[in-house]
Structure 1
Amino acid sequence: MPIPVRLPLCAAALVALAAPALAKDKEEPGTAPPATYQAVLDCQKITDAAARLACFDRSVTAMADATQKKDVVVIDRATIRETKRGLFGISLPRIKLFGGNDDVEVNQIESTISGTSSAKDGMSVFVLADGSRWKQTDGRYTYPKPGQKIVVKRAALGSFMANVNDQPGVRVIRLPD
């Protein structure tokens, strides 16, 4: 490759590699802890024991009030996992609703079919035990029955595949509730 062509390509590669590092320096919205939580953390810095205890009492009371009013919501990893499982298959905007915990990614769900119907195009619609509805979009006809096991997995390019009773997979989409 001639030198004049290589130079812009190298510059573009350096910019692309530097972008994530520069983005880390800027605090993303929603990543800073709420003020009521930060107040509890700030109490740790107080050296006088009586003042530190008074600070903890004030800030913990404020946090309890904020939690009761639903201004602050405390969730654990199991709740995040269950919520993401319930949202599996729904296209949502990329937001840091769960604090950016990408290590709690749901790539498949296993359930049972609680009901079935046919769409206008003749394809099957599955209702899972959790109430989510999935429609077959292509593949062979499955003729699912209530009570059968179903596994829905992420597939290529944002699509989903469902296996009913360990049969070969068919492509499905999640229907709005």
Structure 2
Amino acid sequence: MLRSTPGCIALAALAIAAAPLAARDKSALPKELPPVFEAVVNCRALTSDSERLACYDRSVAALAAARDKEDIVVADRTTIRETKKGLFGFTLPKLRLFGGAEGKEEEIKEIESTISAVRDSADGLAVFTLADGARWKQTDGGATFARPGLSIHIKRGALGSYLASVDKGAFVRVVRLSQ
């Protein structure tokens, strides 16, 4: 009899999240998966129902313990996309932290947000704080007439630059500021 426990739910979520990976080119995947994950997958090979269930119970408990200790992190595509949006504007090294084969990762090219605060910097140009807490500084002299509550659209420009449009106005150059 299959039980509906948090471990079983976690296993089901893990299986659903891993399904798209199985369809991909195997060469794009890491050579080794974490042992705690391998243990869950290896339970499938057991033919006896009782042995397989006992194996799943043990390995899912170990997987949940690894998650609780933050030794392993499981994320779905939506979470990864939101994380990438939060990092938009920063220059980061090419790491495969967010899945996908090198060169095949989904690239965020623009974001839409709402301005939560605006202040003038020492040089008189605007610094925008977005709804997610990201801070962007205007780098050219165009007037934006930015106020809290207005929409902002930021997109990649040429040669690593970024352009922002406040409330569908003209684009001005901006740069992402560290928190």
Unmatched tracts of structure 2, length 5 or more: 1-24
1:74: which partner in 2?
A: 74
Aligned equivalents of 2:46, 2:106: Cα separation in 1? 35
**Pair 1:169–1:126, CA change in 2 (3 A):** same
Runs of at least 4 residues off by over 6 Å? 24-28
Alignment of 1:90-129 (within 5 A): 90-100=90-100, 102=104, 104-129=106-131
Q: CA RMSD in A?
A: 2.3
**AA aligned opposite 2:139:** T
Segment of structure 1 superposing worse, 93-102 or 164-173: 93-102
SS at 2:139 equivalent: strand
The question of whether the paired residues in 2 share the 8 Å contact of 1:114 and 1:128 is answered with: yes
1:146: which partner in 2?
A: 148
Unmatched tracts of structure 1, length 5 or more: 1-23
The question of whether the paired residues in 1 share the 8 Å contact of 2:85 and 2:108 is answered with: yes
Alignment of 1:37-56 (within 5 A): 37-56=37-56
The question of whether the paired residues in 1 share the 8 Å contact of 2:115 and 2:147 is answered with: yes
Structure whose alpha-carbon radius of gyration is higher: 1
Deviations 1:66-102 (A, max 9, x none): 1121111111111111111111111211111112375
Percent identity at matched positions?
50
SS at 1:44 equivalent: helix
TM-score (norm 2): 0.76
1:171 aligned to 2:166? Answer: no
